[in-house]
């Protein structure tokens, strides 16, 4: 099965600064790379995803970059705001479907 590692487990940044979360995976056949955001008391919500034929995708303040050779992809959040505080999960799609990372708790300091 797919082995997924997500770093860091906790990330604290000043409001307005950028945040980067990295996800490494093991299955070279993985072809779809989503990121989910989970706020307190809610289910995870898909915020951005990328397919294996693309290296980068942006949506306003968030972006995802993919390095298939090194088998990792990253979530970038610029100009962080208080509402970005949440737990973020990567979930690469391998042969067994999506495998979720253990999550990164992002804390935005005022």
Partner 1 sequence: GAGVSQSPSNKVTEKGKDVELRCDPISGHTALYWYRQSLGQGLEFLIYFQGNSAPDKSGLPSDRFSAERTGGSVSTLTIQRTQQEDSAVYLCASSPAAGYGYTFGSGTRLTVV
Q: Which parts of this chain interact with partner 1 (CB under 8 A)?
A: 32, 34, 36, 41-46, 49, 89, 91, 93, 97-103
Select 34 or 74, whichever has its Cβ closest to partner 1: 34
CB of 19 to partner 1, least distance (A): 19
Which long-range contacts (C-beta less than 8 Å, at least 24 apart) are formed by 31-34? 31/93, 32/92, 32/93, 33/64, 33/66, 33/73, 33/90, 33/92, 33/93, 34/90, 34/91, 34/93, 34/98
Select 96 or 110, whichever has its Cβ closest to partner 1: 96
Select 58 or 102, whichever has its Cβ closest to partner 1: 102
Alpha-carbon dihedral sign for residues 9, 36, 92, 79 = negative
CB of 8 to partner 1, least distance (A): 14
CB of 16 to partner 1, least distance (A): 27
CB of 79 to partner 1, least distance (A): 27
How many Å apart are CA 66 and CA 104, to the nearest integer? 18
What's the gap between Cα 11 and its chain centre? 13
Select 62 or 78, whichever has its Cβ closest to partner 1: 62
């Amino acid at each position: 099965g797919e082995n997924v590692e997500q770093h860091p487990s906790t990330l604290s940044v000043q409001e307005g600064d950028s945040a980067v979360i990295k996800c490494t995976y093991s299955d070279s056949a993985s072809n779809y790379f989503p990121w989910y955001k989970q706020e307190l008391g809610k289910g995870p919500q898909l915020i951005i995803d990328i397919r294996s034929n693309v290296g980068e995708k942006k949506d306003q303040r968030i972006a995802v970059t993919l390095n298939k050779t090194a088998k990792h992809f990253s979530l970038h959040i610029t100009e962080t705001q208080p509402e970005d505080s949440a737990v973020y999960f990567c979930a690469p799609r391998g042969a067994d479907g999506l495998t979720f990372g253990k999550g990164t708790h992002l804390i935005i300091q005022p």
